[in-house]
Amino acid sequence: MARVLHVSASPRGEASESLAIARTFLDVYRETHPADTVEEFDLWDGTLPAFGPSAVAAKMAVFAGQEPAGDDWHAAVRTFERFASFDKYLFSVPMWNSGVPYVLKQLIDVISQPGMVFSFSPEHGYTGLLQGRKAAVVYTSAVYGPGLPPSFGADFQQPYFENWLQWAGISDIVSVAFRPDLVTTTADADRKLAHERARELAQAF
């Protein structure tokens, strides 16, 4: 039996394209993997801690070989422990200003700690510690689309997020993208293809 965590970075609820595709994925996943456990982590639910000055000081203490302390640090540890208790991840990631929503960046900053997500050595650099896990990612954008002119935006969303996943040690990554082409108005067909892709990925995930 595997544990799956759906991490939602969209605040749009029923209006969210990324959440709709993620629900399609999860519906098929539950049907084809009935023994597995699926949990939801809505990054907008108010439980994601901040990572401010005291937490940064604790992180630097770890690098210095000292004992980290403080409520903010312990909140970060609890968030990481929740995240790391899962075997598979589904991320629903809408594009914001060519990148990812700030709450997803906040999650990354909170859990990306030495001895948790990564280790570091002067000889070899970083080593990701979340090895052996799998990730599926739903990417959506409202204006940007591949092949469109630069005036329609740029993609710092997928390259950034998948670089973080790989840096953290997660190399088994699959994705589905819904980027409706506003120039040729193929949104309905593109949406259908995205949901079909989500079903296919869920069956084999």
Cα separation values, 133 from 4, 29, 56, 86, Å: 10, 16, 27, 8
**Direct distance between the N- and C-terminal alpha carbons of the chain, in angstroms, rounded to an integer:** 13
- Residues in the chain with pLDDT values less than 50: none
Interval 26-39: pLDDT, tens: 999 999 999 999 99
Q: Tell me the pTM.
A: 0.94
Distance CA 198, CA 137 (A): 10
The DSSP bridge pattern shows strands 125-128 and 118-121 to be antiparallel
pLDDT of residue 183: 63
Per DSSP, what are the bridge partners of residue 190? Answer: none
pLDDT of residue 78: 96
- Report CA dihedral (52, 55, 61, 66) to the nearest 10 degrees: 160
Cα separation values, 43 from 102, 144, 148, Å: 10, 24, 30
Interval 37-83: pLDDT, tens: 999 999 999 999 998 898 888 888 888 888 888 888 999 999 999 99
Q: Are 130 and 83 in contact (CB under 8 A)?
A: no
pLDDT of residue 182: 64
Q: Which domains does the chain have, with CATH numbers?
A: 3-204 (3.40.50.360)
SS3 call for 168? coil
pLDDT of residue 87: 98
Tell me how crowded residue 83 is: count the other CB atoms within 10 A of its CB.
Answer: 20
C-alpha of 28 from chain center = 20
